[in-house]
Amino acid sequence: MRFQFAGAVAVALALTTGSAEAHHSFAMFDLTREVTVSGTVRQFQWTNPHAYIQLVAKDEQGRDVEWSMEMGAPMYLYARGWRPGSLKNGMRISVTLNPLRNGRPGGVVRDVTGPDGKPIGTNR
Amino acid sequence: MRALLAAAVAAACLATAGSALAQGEPSAAARVEAFAKLPYWPGYWVSEQYANTTIGGTAAPRPPGSPPLQRLNGFNAPWNEEGKARQAEAARTRGGRRADGWGYPMMMDAATPFQVMITPEEVLIVNAYGETRHIYTDGRPMPAAEDMWPTVWGTSIGHWEGDTLVVETVQVQMPYTYFHGAPSFSEEARYIERIRMDGDRLVMEFTVEDPVTLTGPWSATITHLREEAFDRMVQMDFSNDRTGSENGINTIEPPADEGGE
C-alpha cells in the first residue's frame, strides 16, 4: 500500500462483489482488498455518472493527501438513503473502499461512517 | 352583402376545421376506452444485472446458482469481418474512454432506472439521464428513408400484440460512439424488441439484424426488476465522468478544480 493513515485500518479480504459494473470497467480497483481511510471531506460531488468524495487524510509522514473516492450514480445513492447533504465540507468521516491498483489515493466506496460512528445510508 | 359573404366564408372554415378535428383526434371517451385496454407498467425499472446496486455502483451478489444474465453489449454476437474489426477497435480504445450517456440500445441494460409511460398514441421510455425513446403506436408506418437520419436513440415504431409491445427501431448511430461499453453495430442495423410483463419482471427480447457487421441475427433477452427505493425520477446530466487511463488501465482523474477535465 502506498499510503498509510492515522486511524486507518487496512484489511485484506476476499470479496464476493457482484459482476455488474457501473458505466466503466472495474479493472482499476483491487476488489480483493479493502482499506479504511479516515479524514476530512473537502468536497462531495453529487454528479452523474458517479458521485465522488474528495477526502483529505494524513499519510504516514503526516502530510495531507487528497483521495478521490468513487461512488455509484446519485439515483442509487438516493435509493440507499444518501442525499446531497449527507456529507458536508469539513466533516470527519471514515470510508472503506477497494483501492485503485495503480497506488494513487483513490478507490471505489463500500461503506461510509459518519462523525457519530454510524453508517451513512443503508447500502442495501 | 360583403359582410354576409365574409360571415359565410368564416362559418365554412370553422365547419371544415371542426370536421378535421373530429377525424384526426379521438373523443375523450374513446381515448379513455383505448387507455383502458393498454397494459400498465408503473415503477422504476432496472436491468436485473444492476438490481440492488450498492453505493459503490456495483450490483449486490446474486444468489449462488443463479442463471447467467444476458447483456446488450454484443460481446457474443455473430460478428462478420467488419464487425470483428470494429469490436477490436472498440476493445483497443475502450480503456479510459469517457461516455456521453447510455444511448440506445444500452439504456435498456444500464446502471440507471427507466420508466415506461404507455399511452394510446406512443410509449415513452425515459431514464434518469434524461434519455427518452418515443415509440409511436398510433398505427403510422416507419418514416420514409429520406425522412430519417441516424441518432443516438434511433427511430421507433411499435404495435401491441396482446400485452406484448413489439418495437422496431432503425437509424441508430453506431452505439459505441456514444457509450464505450456498447456494441459497434452499423447505422443499417434493425432492432426488434418484444416487451412484456412476466410475473414481476419486465422482459425484453431483442433481436438485431445488421448486414454490415453481423453474419446473422443476434438475440438477447434482458429482464428488469422494479427498484422500490425511488420515489420519483430525478434526471441529471452526464456531466462528471472522471474516468481516465493510465498504462492501459482506467483510473480516476483528479477533480476539475485540481486540474482534471
Q: SS3 for A97?
A: strand
Its ipTM equals: 0.77
- CA atoms A68, A29, B97, B95: torsion sign: positive
Mean pLDDT of B224-250: 86
CATH number at residue A96: 2.40.50.140
Task: Give me the residue label for grid cell 436513440.
Answer: B153
Instruction: Select from A17, A20, A80 the Cβ nearest to the Cβ of B55.
Output: A80
pLDDT at residue B63, rounded to an integer: 83
From the candidates A15, A23, A46, A95, which should be mutated to test the interface with B, based on the most B CB atoms within 10 A?
Answer: A23
For residue B95, list chain A residues with Cβ-Cβ distance below 8 A.
Answer: 25
* Cβ-defined contact of B240 to A50 (cutoff 8 Å): yes
Gyration radius (Cα) of chain A, Å: 14
Return the number of other C-beta atoms located less than 10 Å from residue B191's C-beta.
21
Cβ contact B40:B174 at 8 Å: no
Q: What is the pLDDT of residues B112-167, one digit of tens each?
A: 899 999 999 999 999 999 999 999 999 999 999 999 999 999 999 999 999 999 99
Q: Which residues of A touch B229 (CB under 8 A)?
A: 78-80
* Domain spans, chain B: 2-36, 45-258
Residues B179-209: pLDDT tens digits? Answer: 988 999 999 999 999 999 999 999 999 999 9
User: At a CB cut-off of 8 Å and minimum separation 6, what does B77 contact?
Assistant: B83, B183, B208, B214, B218
pLDDT at B13 > cutoff 80: no
Cα separation of A8 and B130, whole Å?
A: 40
What are phi and psi for residue B92, nearest 5 degrees? Answer: -70, -35
Which domain, by its residues, includes A38?
9-113
By Cβ distance, the residue of A20, A52, A106 closest to B58 is A20
- Quote the minimal CA–CA distance from A117 to chain B in Å: 18
Q: State the pLDDT at residue A109.
A: 95
Q: How far apart are CA B16 and CA B10, in angstroms?
A: 10
Cell for B133? 425513446
pLDDT-derived band at B93, boundaries 50, 70, 90: confident
- How many Cβ atoms are within 10 Å of A74's Cβ, its own excluded? 21
Contact (CB<8Å) A45/B230: no
Taking CA atoms, A74 is separated from A40, A77, B19, B180, in Å, by 21, 5, 50, 21
Looking up cell 471514515 gives: A94
CB contact under 8 A, A22 and B111: yes
Show which of residues 9-28 on chain A sit within 8 Å of chain B, judged by CB atoms. 16-28
Q: How many separate domains does chain A show?
A: 1
**Cell 354576409 sits on residue:** B4
pLDDT tier at B111, thresholds 50, 70, 90: confident
- Compute CA A5 distance to the chain's CA centroid, rounded to the nearest angstrom: 14
Question: What residues of chain A score a pLDDT lower than 50?
Answer: 1-20
Chain A's closest residue to B100, CA to CA, is: A49
| A82 belongs to a structural domain | yes
Q: For residues B27-32, give the mean pLDDT.
A: 92
Q: In angstroms, rounded to a whole number, what is the distance separating the alpha carbons of residues B118 and B202?
A: 14
Task: List the single best residue of A48, A64, A83, A120 to mutate versus B (max B Cβ within 10 A).
Answer: A48
**Quick one: pLDDT at residue A29?**
87
Q: What residues does B172 pair with on adjacent strands?
A: B151
Give yes or no for a contact between A107 and A17, defined as CB atoms under 8 angstroms apart.
no
Residue A122 covered by a domain: no
Q: Which range has highest mean pLDDT (B198-202, B228-232, B233-237)?
A: B198-202
Residue B112: its chain A contacts at CB < 8 A? 73, 75
pLDDT at A5: 33
Q: How far is A33 from chain B (nearest CA, A)?
A: 14
Q: Chain B closest CA to A91's CA: distance in Å?
A: 19
Torsional sign, CA A72, A76, A77, A83: positive
Q: Which residues of A touch B56 (CB under 8 A)?
A: 70-72, 98, 108-110
Give domain status of residue A118, yes or no.
no
Q: What is the pLDDT of residue B58?
A: 82
pLDDT tens-digit series, residues B53-66: 889 888 877 888 88
Going through B128-258 in order, the beta strands assigned E by DSSP cover: 132-136, 155-161, 164-170, 190-198, 201-209, 218-226, 243-246, 249-252
Nearest to A109 by CA among A79, A77, A70: A70
| Average pLDDT over every residue of B22-41 | 86
Q: What is the pLDDT of residue B238?
A: 84
pLDDT at B57: 85
Q: Are strands A106-113 and A64-70 parallel, antiparallel or unpaired?
A: parallel
